[in-house]
Amino acid sequence: MLTGWRWLSVITALVVLLAGCAKKAPAPGGKLAVSLTGAGATFPYPLYSKWFDAYAKATDVRINYQSIGSGGGIQQLKAGTVDFGASDAPLSDEETRSMPAPVVHIPTVAGAVVVAYNLPEVRGLRLSGEVLAGIYLGEITRWSDPKIGALNPKARLPNLPIAVAHRADGSGTTYIFTHYLAAVSKAWADRVGAGKAVSWPVGLGGKGNEGVTGLVKQTPGGIGYLELAYAKQNNLPYAEMRNAAGKFIEPSIASTSAAARGAIAAMKRDVRASLVNSPAPDAYPIAGFTYLLVYRDQTDRSKGEALAKFLEWAIHDGQKYASPLFYAPLPAEVVALDEAAIRSLRSQGRPVFP
C-alpha cells in the first residue's frame, strides 16, 4: 500500500510525463506540428491573414504574423527573430549587403496603392501625378484649387482645406507611393525623394494602412494613400489616376494586373523591378508587388521545409484568395520565377523543398 508521500511522488511524475507529451503533441498524420513566425507589411495583411488561417486548417502548420510595416519586418528578419519578413519594398543593394546571410525575394501578389479622399459630395475624382505631388509638397492646399478643377471640370469641388495623411512608420506602401511621385515630379524627386520613410513636407502620420485609413475617414477634406482593400472595406472613395499613357485609370485587379504584366521582362532580369508609372495603356500607375523575404540557407531544417511548402502553396493554391480581397494574382511568368527561388532554399547544404 502506498503511503501519502509515495502517492504524491507518483502523481507528480505523471504530471511531468503528461506535460512533456503535450509539448510534443503530434499533428494529424503523426508528424509534429511546426509553427512559423513572420512580421512586416500591412499592405497585404488582409490577404495574409486569410492565407495563414486557410493553411493552418489544411496542414496544421501555424503561422503567427505581426502586421508592423515593411521596415519593421526587414529589421526583425535581420535580427533573426522571425522565420520570414514581409515587405512591399524589395531590399536595396545596400540593405542586401547588410543582411547577415543571402535573402531570397518571393513576390506573392500585386496590389494597388489608392489615393483615398473624404469629400462626400464628390465622386469620380481625377488626379494627375503632378497635382498629387503638389498636394503632398504643400503647394496645393485647398480642394478648390484650379489645378484640381482643371482635371475635374464637372465636379463641385468645395473650398475646403486639404488634410494630408501619410504613414508614420517605415512602410512599403510609402515606398511604392513615393517612388511614383519621384517618377512623375522632378520637384518631388529633388526635394523629398523616395523610400520606405521620407521627411514629409506636410500632413499627419498614421501607423500602418489602418492608421492612414482612419485619418482620412475621420477628417473632412482628408486625402491619403493606402492599399485598395482598406479603401474598399471602409467605403472610402478613391481617385482615378492619369497614367503614363495619358488615360485616367481606376485602381482595380485588372489595371493592377496590367501593370504587373508590363514589368515581366524587367523582373526576369531582377525580381525587384518596379511597377510604378507603367507605360502599359491600361495600367494603374501606383502599383507594386509585395514580397516575402526568407534566408536562402535555413538553419532549422524542419522549419525550412515547412516554410518552403507554405511558399509553394501561396504561389499556387493561395492565389485563389487574391482577387476576392482586391489583389492581383501572380502572372504565370512570376510564378515560375518564384518556383525557382523556392527550390534554391537550402539547409545543411541540401534543398528543403522535396
Sorted by where each starts, the structural domains of the chain and their CATH numbers stand as 32-111+289-351 (3.40.190.10), 115-287 (3.40.190.10)
Beta bridge partners of 17: none
What is the layout of strands, in order, in the sheet containing 126-127? 126-127, 240-242, 248-249
Question: What is the rounded CA–CA span in Å between residue 311 and residue 204?
Answer: 36
Could you tell me how many helices (H) and strands (E) the chain has, helices first?
Answer: 14, 13
3-state secondary structure of 241: strand
Question: What is the rounded CA–CA span in Å between residue 245 and residue 233?
Answer: 30
Quickly count: other Cβ atoms within 10 Å of residue 338's Cβ.
Answer: 22
* Residue 177 near residue 157, CB atoms below 8 Å: no
Question: What is the rounded CA–CA span in Å between residue 128 and residue 241?
Answer: 6
* Residue 110 near residue 257, CB atoms below 8 Å: yes
Question: What is the rounded CA–CA span in Å between residue 134 and residue 197?
Answer: 19
What is the reported pTM? 0.87
Q: Which helix (H) or strand (E) holds 127?
A: strand 126-127
The one-digit pLDDT tens for each residue of the chain (354 residues) are 444 444 434 333 443 333 343 333 344 444 457 899 999 999 999 999 999 999 999 998 999 999 999 999 999 999 999 999 999 999 999 999 999 999 999 999 999 999 999 999 999 999 999 999 999 999 999 999 999 999 999 999 999 999 999 999 989 999 999 999 999 999 999 999 999 999 999 999 999 999 999 999 999 999 999 999 999 999 999 999 999 999 999 999 999 999 999 999 999 999 999 999 999 999 999 999 999 999 999 999 999 999 999 999 999 999 999 999 999 999 999 999 999 999 999 998 999 987
Question: What is the rounded CA–CA span in Å between residue 49 and residue 55?
Answer: 10
Specify the pLDDT at position 261. Answer: 95
Residue with grid cell 526576369, as numbered in its chain: 268
Specify the pLDDT at position 354. Answer: 78
Question: What is the rounded CA–CA span in Å between residue 168 and residue 10?
Answer: 58
Q: What is the residue type of 46?
A: P
Grid cell in block for residue 346: 537550402
